[in-house]
Homo-oligomer: A and B are copies of this chain.
């Protein structure tokens, strides 16, 4: 039996948004399942000294241009959010709360949250917005609101982040396929080759 493809991402990562829209079609094409693991990269960025992409001198203006062009490349709607980056504890918690009840529904929610942020400029760091996005998919507002404040859900997210850091995840999107790490939406072609033919 083949192992599931693991997909780590931060809800504040635009390239993570692109990858989230593509990775499951790729996995399915080669008979693989996937496990999605949203995390908060703030702590990791402190270690790696990384700054928000769009704020880096010289690189920042290119990054904005590349994001828009890459969105068209991936055929996805995109609008640079007016608040960027954001802290994404609320969407992460909503994700894990739902994941433990219905993993497929959690993936649908993750993509809806990503679209809300990167296509509709809605600030998903605001719990109200996250709750509204979930409600639109049929999840009860009170139930989601409660989940976002549930100590067990908070702990669940913390455990995922710790495990990701332990594993060396330092960016978004980050994939692990058969134990092999791949970082970046740029690596989707290499991941496809790996899934099709194995190591090269």
| Chain A residues engaging chain B, CB cutoff 8 angstroms | 44, 47-51, 56-59, 61-62, 65-66, 69-70, 72-73, 168, 170-171, 181, 183-184, 186-187, 189-190, 193, 200
Contacts and interface: CB of A to CB of B under 8 A. Distances in A.
A10 to B, nearest CB: 15
B186 A69 contact: no
Contacts of A56: 48-49
Contact of A168 (B51, B58, B200): B58
Q: How many copies does the complex hold?
A: 2
A189 B184 CA distance: 15
B62 A58 contact: no
Contact of A62 (B50, B65, B181): B181
A48 B44 contact: no
B62 A44 contact: no
B59 A170 contact: yes
A18 to B, nearest CB: 13
Contacts of A200: 69, 72-73
B62 A170 contact: yes
A153 to B, nearest CB: 27
A57 B66 contact: no
A49 B62 CA distance: 16
B72 A181 contact: no
Contact of A183 (B66, B73, B181, B193): B66
